[in-house]
Structure 1
């Protein structure tokens, strides 16, 4: 061997290898699925590259994965004749694990989380699962098209270092040999290995062969042990649920079963096959809109590229699966794909198919849909603002907490809300706040509780943005209860003689407030929407809401000052007492206190909380002295 050197893994790699061996994987046989999947990926990559460079096949386009067991040496060798690797690629791929996010991943895990094997497939560490059963792993590889003397030797015990050297390798591709630990004899049993391959990799469109011995003639031969057919090309009636689930795990490296899936073959102006899955768990980077997430693309069973974002809108980035289209050109590039009319049509169709899949899940299995909403509801809420064409379908899929229940669980659909609407109610009412508690206890809801009118409680950060784009649902428009609106006035009682007299009696008081608050408010007026609160702040229908102002401020945007309407409850005892105060200074203190209370209820914060506390304590002392 030439150019031999010993290199150290990155420090976080050492930690992760230790965790993998001792904590993360509960099912040891997964390592075989991972290695076979990697070999299949290498074959797919070679097929794709050979479309423009057929010489990469080196005269042999028959691709395979081969497994040989040596019981005496206690080894298993897995060989493929795929794309292979150059020396620099070996260093990059086998000397680093999960280049971005590994440290954060390790720091975030503790206790029971270390036993959770749902995460491991999300960090690109499939190759290293070999160290769960092996005390040493060697790898020989040569890139397709490289010279024979450009082969690479790699070896490691998975502790802290690996050895690297240049070798001669006649055949392209990669050969991995695992030296098993004591107690791992199952993987030296040919029939056990066959069973594992059948369980996890039967669907791979690549022959997987195992070395068998003809005892009679004392000869060794290769025997194919998988069906080697693309699962998505088979008839749906011939595929059982277990096969669908195992295929999902193969293409996603997720050890959890999917919640649901949809397998369809479409013919007509466009011909394509799609197999779409909804995961049961959100990946760690699900809320990162810039993360590489998308479907796999095949053209006539030839793998083209991974994570094709153009096939799905961003709010459906959690959907996994693949598309196999006969209409896309085989030399399709990423740039051509972005501008393709065919791609745009596929995107429309696949989006519709995904939403139909969610509609069916919501209708047929409420428990599973609740699980989906818990994991991906926040992402789906991005949809109404970005996909006007499917807004009504998306609105139907949304789930809310409401005043109908004391539970924080978001389980009420808009259909549920419509069924419970009052006869004289013509709008869907909602409130946005920073938390469920803030929304549930808002003074804006007092009137609605009195009238037994249900209100949607929106407390996720994205809700204010989403609700600004939701125009209507089944002919009913949406209305924030913290904004002025004529429909709210219609719901209040008709003005009685007593109310008219109250307005007249409070006229001087309202004028006194206007003079005191001046341009700090847009308007001061009486309201009969309150029962337990002396005063609230509302915004004009054309004014930016408080929550929207918070969103812009958090994003670093300049926000114009929100001009509130100060609404006074004339029936409240505190208001009645304040109207009797003649001392202007004392009157001013009480009004400032009431105004700050209303601001605190509306915004959740005050610019000067200490001044508020000081004023309140001063008024309390005066009351106690009296």
Structure 2
């Protein structure tokens, strides 16, 4: 029986595109290749530790001397990175090396900025770090065997990065992976012990596994020769070190490793808790939203360690969904090393850790808002809509989250969300008892809504809500510090208490004078509206649509029912508007009916809703305009 032979395969199309990018474009920060390959090796050892706890067939595998080795050969012009982690089977090599996960491929290419340094650092974030090897190598050889498989199940992968790769079975006694980079002609400066050590200490010093390199020694002839292996990095978990020994640069570099980000974090917290339960938190708030922030299946935030051993990425037990942007590590001394997701879901230890972590993150954000408002403005721009989810999701912390919210209001200088609820309450006018808001389909629609007219006239501030998440937010936040939140587009205007006697008399007189018109409009519109009434909420517009439901905000009701109107729409007319006064004198009932439908349709459109018969609306409007033109000509 003949021995298995080498087989060749073609790369997935996205891989070819990526390799071309690596080879021809990302050359300004070449040293990142070592960071990425070492990071992958560290992940492989973490996965082995976890698999040994959960897979019975790996019980006999040795977990002593887990380490990463880096070596170079000047004569062969190669750099070799090896680990004794989980390794890969043949199918895993084809799945992980021959293709890129489709979930992130398109986003990776869309995220490229043209800035070579920033683009290079995106590699790890999108899980394509292995391919960075081709920045410096014209041929890469990977030899691996998965833990638990026989020595004869080893596999060798090799490619020059030009479109295809080879696979062949090999004998490999050791589990784990070895990657040999055959350097390009112009990359000989990496064949230097000092250069490699500097790169490792710059990017990978925080990795808690020992990274070994042969110490260079000078031979009798003056040439450098490799000596015995020595640990290059500090090989201790950063979060376990005293804070006094950790610099801001150390924190930033660790964040970039754990978050696969190119930018420094916005802020961080490092806390060791001792008492009933013992655990350490090292958590970061990014400066930029990750590409997968709105992907429901994505979970790349907080990593759970037990006694410094990586166990798993959080799947919702450690950090609530509305804090999914938080990155970092939680290390527990009380959980068992073989903890499972099922155990996490019913663990008092985890409940305590989660509660404490959430409160500390919210406190961190509060401090950021108070002490560094410019940084908090950056945070809100990137993650504000995510944090809003917490008002509905986390009742126990609702008040603290509400204080962190920021809004655009009618007093905002621009479209920037710069007003807190505390700011709003502090600016409330004398006699004002409610916090007023307006929900609209978009921020632009909110700013131009006719429902704001009387509030602008009286100088009463209104919070403008135009994002989809605001529907959910407003139903979960009925009040703030004893002040009820009230929609300006819901029910009868309640500003009467703030009117002076002259205004009240004028409103009552106008309402009395137009009783006949109100009834005629109601008859003309039929079942399109529940009611027609005069209002004091308008100053320049002739009419608007409001909801008559006492407890359901109109725009929310409209969105819940699709793009139609609430079940109880009310047409409110402005008794001071010239058009309304003109209609009160209209004697032709058909023409009045046409005007009634035009007013109604215009009010629906300014609401941001959809009218049922746009062609009929246009026809009526054109007919009325023609009639007015003819009357003027006469």
Give 2:208's aligned residue: 205
Q: 2: CA distance between counterparts of 1:345 and 1:450? A: 51
Distance in 2, Cα, partners of 1:20 & 1:623: 69
2:169 to 141, 166, 169: 166
Deviations 1:38-91 (A, max 9, x none): 111122222223335596664561111111111122211111112211212111
Does residue 126 of the first structure (1) align with residue 129 of the second (2)?
Answer: yes
Q: Equivalent of 1:386, from 380, 393, 399? A: 393
CA distance in 1, matches of 2:385, 2:552: 23
Instruction: Look up the match of 1:408.
Output: 415
TM-aligned CA deviation for residue 112 of structure 1: 6.5
Is 2:510 the partner of 1:502?
Answer: yes
Q: 1:118 to 1:389 in 2, by over 3 A?
A: farther
Aligned pairs for 1:176-325 within 5 A: 176-215=179-218, 220-325=227-332
In structure 2, the residue matched to 1:531 is: 539
Name the structure 2 match of 1:551. Answer: 559
SS at match of 1:68: strand
1:341 to 342, 348, 351: 348
Q: Which runs of 5+ in 2 are unaligned?
A: none
Hey, what's the Cα distance between the residues in 1 that align with 2:242 and 2:383? 30
Quick one: which of 446, 455, 467 aligns to 1:448? 455
For structure 1, which segment, 19-28 or 278-287, has the greater mean C-alpha deviation from structure 2 after superposition?
19-28
What does residue 369 of structure 2 align with? 362
Change in CA separation of 1:250 and 1:293 when aligned onto 2, cut-off 3 Å:
closer
Tell me how far 1:280 sits from its aligned partner: 1.4
Is 1:65 the equivalent of 2:72? no
Structure 1 gap segments, 5+ residues each: none
In structure 2, relative to structure 1, the CA distance for the partners of 1:611 and 1:544 (3 Å cut) is: farther
What residue in structure 2 maps to residue 8 of structure 1?
Answer: 10
Q: What SS does the aligned partner of 1:73 have?
A: coil
Correspondence for 1:135 among 133, 138, 149: 138
CA displacement 1:487-524 (0-9 Å, x = unmatched): 43323344644443333222222222222223322222
CA shift in 2, pair 1:500/1:150, >3 Å = closer
1:203/1:247 contact within 8 Å kept: yes
- How far residue 35 of structure 1 moved from its aligned partner, in angstroms, is 0.9
Q: Summarize the Cα distance change of 1:184–1:485 in structure 2 as closer, same or farther, 3 Å threshold.
A: farther
Return closer, same or farther for 1:550/1:32 CA change in 2, 3 Å cut-off.
farther
Query: For residues 192-247 of structure 1, what are the alpha-carbon distances to aligned partners after superposition, in whole Å with 9 as ceiling and x for unaligned?
Result: 11111111111111111112344358773112111101000011111011000111
Encode CA deviations 1:370-421: one digit per residue, 9 max, x unaligned.
Answer: 1111111111111111111111111111111111024111121112212211
Q: 1:525 to 1:550 in 2, by over 3 A?
A: closer
Q: 2:567 aligns with which of 562, 565, 575?
A: 562
Aligned-partner SS, 1:624? helix
Identify if the C-alpha distance between structure 1 residues 294 and 338 changes in structure 2 by more than 3 Å, giving closer, same or farther.
farther
Distance 1:425 1:328, change over 3 A: same
Determine the C-alpha separation between the residues in 2 that align with 1:226 and 1:113: 27
The RMSD of aligned alpha carbons is: 2.3
Secondary structure of the structure 2 residue equivalent to 1:310: coil
SS in 1 for 2:102: coil
**Cα offset, 1:608, TM superposition:** 1.8
Change (3 A) 1:353 1:543: closer
Measure the CA separation in 2 of the matches of 1:553 and 1:185: 66
SS of equivalent to 1:385: helix
The answer on whether the counterparts of 1:297 and 1:308 sit within 8 Å (CA) in structure 2 is: no
Partner of residue 612 from structure 1, selected from 574, 597, 617: 617
Work out whether 1:579 is the aligned partner of 2:622: no
String of CA shifts for 1:12-55, please: whole Å, max 9, x gaps: 11112212333357421111111111111122222223335596
Distance (Å, rounded) in 1 between the aligned partners of 2:447 and 2:44:
55
Establish whether residue 595 from structure 1 lines up as the match of residue 587 from structure 2.
no
SS at match of 1:276: strand
CA contact (8 A) 1:24 1:115 kept: no
Give the counterpart of 2:37 among 22, 35, 38.
35
Normalised to the residue count of structure 2, the TM-score between the two structures is 0.93
TM-score (norm 1): 0.94
Task: Write out per-residue CA displacement over residues 170-190 of structure 1, whole angstroms, 9 at most, x where no aligned residue.
Answer: 222111111111322331121
Question: Is the 8 Å Cα contact of residues 28 and 116 (structure 2) preserved in structure 1?
Answer: no
